[in-house]
Amino acid sequence: MLHRCLLGLAALLLSAASLLAQARPQVLVETSKGPFILELFNETPIHRDNFLRLVDSRAYEGVQFHRVIKDFMIQTGHLGTKGLNRDAALPQDSTEGTIAGEFHPELFVHVRGALAAARQPDDINPEMRSSACQFYIVTGKYYTDCDLQEQEKGRSWKYSEEQKKQYMFEAGAAHLDGTYTVFGR
């Protein structure tokens, strides 16, 4: 009986360890407007690990949100904005290279609160590689079912019912889906 209990306990501990291994990393972001927590997706390991490396190296400390567009997104990660006066021109882009895109629109779309990697436009960056340091958080606009049907045209995937509801009731930036990496929220 004791062996069975120990075996059961060992199985329970292994299950708990497995769940902990799958937990999504979280990062506390402190801003002049207050703190918030980012959760990183394990399904985008290149972006997750790159972001955590930059956070661990304190690369983002003092970096400003340098691009804020109402009903769309807020962008940061431009390392040249550290200590920069708000009225000063931005220095040369600090992309510090690129990383391969990880597109999973069947799992993650640009709904309000999505964390995604910035990148250069398609004409400069046809491989759709992500910036190695700049990212944005979606604020977005609201969509109707007709809007989303229009967004689906020419795409190899369709929005799930849950994704449609998120866009209709929470807002987002559907035009970016499948072409920019969403790696957290």
3-state helix, strand, coil in the chain (%, to 5): 30, 20, 50
- Residue 5 phi, psi (nearest 5): -65, -45
In tens digits, the chain (185 residues) has pLDDT values of: 433 333 333 333 334 444 445 799 999 999 999 999 999 999 999 999 999 999 999 999 999 999 999 999 999 999 988 888 877 887 776 556 899 999 999 999 999 999 999 999 999 999 999 999 999 999 999 999 999 999 999 999 999 999 999 999 999 999 999 999 999 99
Closest CA to 184 of 5, 85, 50: 50
Closest CA to 135 of 91, 179, 73, 80: 73
- Please state the pTM of the whole predicted model: 0.85
Domains of the chain: 23-184 (2.40.100.10)
Beta bridge mates, 99: 130
CA 131 – CA 79 distance, rounded (Å): 12
